[in-house]
Structure 1
């Protein structure tokens, strides 16, 4: 700001007034300051200005418009963590995490002079758009690209999948079939990797991957195929809704769970304990993710030296009655 004031031939306070659209600035002076800003490529530190002026206790969140249990729970937990820290949350929902949609939401948040941004970015297509977030804006990604080099918080999807597959192998099953989520999702990719890696390390056959979306309907479709294959004795579903569809298909085909086929899900939705039979699943701690993301964001907002941290939150296997040794 000092360089802008020197080039424009005005005071530091005048530059501040122009940046804040103060009415008591002559138009000629305003134009001169704007020209100096453009020539120097100056970008005001929005977070620092908000903290100094006290005008923003607002955090912007960019999230996909979704009723899926994981993303919806993550958003709820972050809103609560922010409220506990004295911040309000402005949520910008997009139908798809593509460049144009994300850019529009980010610009809207910046116009609100948010103190920082949290981006819940589960898919690879968001990477290009996220790279355009200005460097002076504090930002933390949840479930984003681990290779992006920006502060990131995520659940250990690989370890969660490994725990599920290992549990089935230890029960005596020769191999485990996997009904995955969309392969472009980072969460789904991590679970696929953990499933395949565990089978390979155990020297077991890796069955063909059954790729789906996150819905019970797609789980049912995959389950209809699996139910017709007598060699299938263990299924790991990438979320509990997929597992619900698999359970329905197995039941219709007369394949008993867990006597004929064992099934494990992922997420531990509130209904999982009431499935028939109660579902063994992998629990994600969305609250821990939210609090870790807020901690990273607050560190940046205070202009503390924050490296491009990656915080990995553990996942927990919850054992219930849907797993048993093979018949």
Structure 2
């Protein structure tokens, strides 16, 4: 069994097409198909069910894929570790960010990383803080930027606190409360709200503040994206809370009213990475934002 055969299997599984898989792997389709057939013969089981219209994993293929992916990741990590001993940083870096990250300019940090280490390949994705933390903990992400309630801390990962911030109320410019100056949560509790999904870290920040103030509210709209939240607010459907630092760098929020709230929700931004032993690419990326992780 060869690593290249595993790469071919992974490519076919991800594209569901032998032709596209061969293009991704920069080989002719016949060579890719031949290598997969050799592997299937060695395993004594077919990995793919092939028809004229589609390709899908068999039960044997489903069982084979997770361990094959782990082998490839381990091989890539071994090559990166060896290269790092002679000062060359390469390999794959997977970064997760919440949509409202504000403490770090992540694209600028990635630009600096690529200037110094052009052989690093980057996968960037957005998600909710809880999901990103879990993916770092299980090794699917190398680094993630989170926003958590001030009463919470990341668990199962190494972490560094980046910044603390208060949320501000965001309203349509023509909302009756938009020109009322500083507000209190009680002034807002009768309004319909738009917020992140129940149970998420983004939602918990505001839920905790209202519970602490012994107030209830109506979350009439749930969204997973701050830009979509802004559109709901802009059309006068609801009001919301977003971090003040994020508002300063979010063009989709231009034209909305941002109002200071005396007992506003608060959040803490963190960067987290896997434990133990971050990869050379992870160490290099953290260095671009001024961090030097130490082994646990």
TM bin (shorter chain): 0.3 to 0.5
Structure 1 or 2: larger helix share?
A: 1
Structure 1 or 2: larger strand share?
A: 2
Larger Rg: 1
Q: TM-score, normalised by structure 2?
A: 0.43
Q: TM-score, normalised by structure 1?
A: 0.40
Q: Which has the higher contact order (CA 8 A, sep 6+)?
A: 2
